[in-house]
Structure 1
Amino acid sequence: MPQYVAGEVRMVPDPRQPGKMMQLKMGGDLKASEVANNGAEIARYSTRYRPLNESHKHSFVGTEDPEFLKAAISMQVETETLTDGLRVRVTLENTGAGHAVPTGHGLKRYLLAVTGAAGGKTLAPASDFPPGERIGESADATQAVLIGRNFKAGEGADWSLPYWRAEAEGEDNRLWPGKPQVFEFALPGADAADIKLILRRGSPTLLKSHGMDISRGKVAGADLDVVVHNSKVSR
């Protein structure tokens, strides 16, 4: 029977301080001599049959890491000059996720936010952009589209309604693999535009209803928004 068994906490020789012992949760059935000779890290991450450089560490950058998110979705931007402004056409494609995005707990959403400008001044916002979403990275957006799932209870769907209070799913316009979506924005009077694809961690309206201060774009110390793609265009 091995002297040490995986999962047990034992006192073992500390390879960093000869002659001293250290407390260690064993990661494999190593003998005391093997721990002393090979180091505590092997005991943490591996077994007596597998060296550390061949073991699999369960580290993960997280689903809100910008580079991780960029690898999942591509954004292509085209513009058309109009007599009195710009038309912006944005193609979003799920190229790397392997499942619909956004995914997770049902509160996350993407915002495709377009901010038009004329002579360096931001255009007035359109009325169809939910005012509760006008915060953080989309605070100055002229137009925007929400991408994700919304829910409903009674009449109509609401982006601020959490799934645990919902009676049914309202709309699901998430990005599925192999199904690019095209969005068009007409910006009368614009000579330039700033386009952002933003991952938003939750509904600002819902967060505020729970007493959270998101006026600085933070939720529990973390950013409310993650900018995945950003593109600037002009006439």
Structure 2
Amino acid sequence: MVGNWDGYAVEWARLHGGFDPRRAGPAVRRWLRSAYTMGSALARAGIPPAAVTGAGLAFSVSVPVLAGQSTGRLVVAAVFVLLSAVADSVDGAVAVISGRTSRLGYLYDSLADRISEACWLVAFWVVGASAPLVVLVGAVCWLHEYVRARAAAAGMREIGVVTVGERPTRVVLAVAGLLLAGASGLVQHDLPAGVITVVSAIWLTLAVFGLAQLLAAVRQALR
């Protein structure tokens, strides 16, 4: 069991390429500290990390369902994306604090992340973004994670670089896109499709830049 924030930060850094959360920016540090606080409460209650992962996945699967019902439900869909992201941070905190970290758990958590992001992009398509654009966004994000995984397998132990296309950026864009689409639908019925298309294009742009940043860092670390 990890008993305090400093001990948690050390263990978290060991599992995340040596990136110490205590040295992160204020926003990231507050987010991870909040995850630690919630994770501590759940660990004391005996909640296993797999249950938290499952809850986060359930929230994400509900997002495209809500997006297809009405414009007003897009706000609820955005909240569900945020809850899914919170669960994604808290499940790891529960695992670290309760001493339940495992390679299999890491695999399941990563798989849940990819399924969640696919669900968010399906919701974008339901709202009105074109299928090719949505598929391209998903492919570049998947390639980003694939490069990280292969670089780690090739011997890159440090995190290398925090790019503009990382998962927190995807969460922000998914939440913002659904909120803006929902708000625009109150103004004019056909606006959400245009809004969600613009956000998808921004997402793709940041994903491409992020992939370029990551490839440069991997090249520097492995050559």
Structure-1-length-normalised TM-score: 0.25
Would you tell me which structure has more helix in proportion to its own residues? Answer: 2
Structure (1 or 2) with the greater strand fraction:
1
Q: Given the two structures, how large is their TM-score scaled by the length of structure 2?
A: 0.26
Q: 1 or 2 for the larger relative contact order (CA 8 Å, sep ≥6)?
A: 2
